[in-house]
Amino acid sequence: MKIYTYGNPVLRKKAKSVQHFDLELKRLCKDMLKAMHNSQPRGVGLAAPQVGISLRLIVVEHQPGNVKCLANPEILSSEGNQIDTEGCLSVPGVYANVKRADRILVRAIDPETHARKEFYASGFLSRIIQHEIDHLDGVMFTDYFDDLSSFDFSEDVAIPEALLKRYQK
Confidence at 5, pLDDT banded by 50, 70, 90: very high
pLDDT at 169 (0 to 100): 58
Centre a 10 Å sphere on the Cβ of residue 31 and count the other Cβ atoms it contains. 15
- Residues near 77 by Cβ (< 8 Å), separated by ≥ 6? 104, 105
What is the average pLDDT score of the chain?
A: 93
Element (DSSP H or E) covering residue 130: helix 123-136
pLDDT at 143 (0 to 100): 93
pLDDT at 162 (0 to 100): 84
pTM (two decimals): 0.93
Higher pLDDT, 17 or 66: 17
pLDDT one-digit tens code per residue, 114-150: 999 999 999 999 999 999 999 999 999 999 988 888 8
Active site residues: 132
Residue ranges of domains in the chain, CATH in brackets: 9-167 (3.90.45.10)
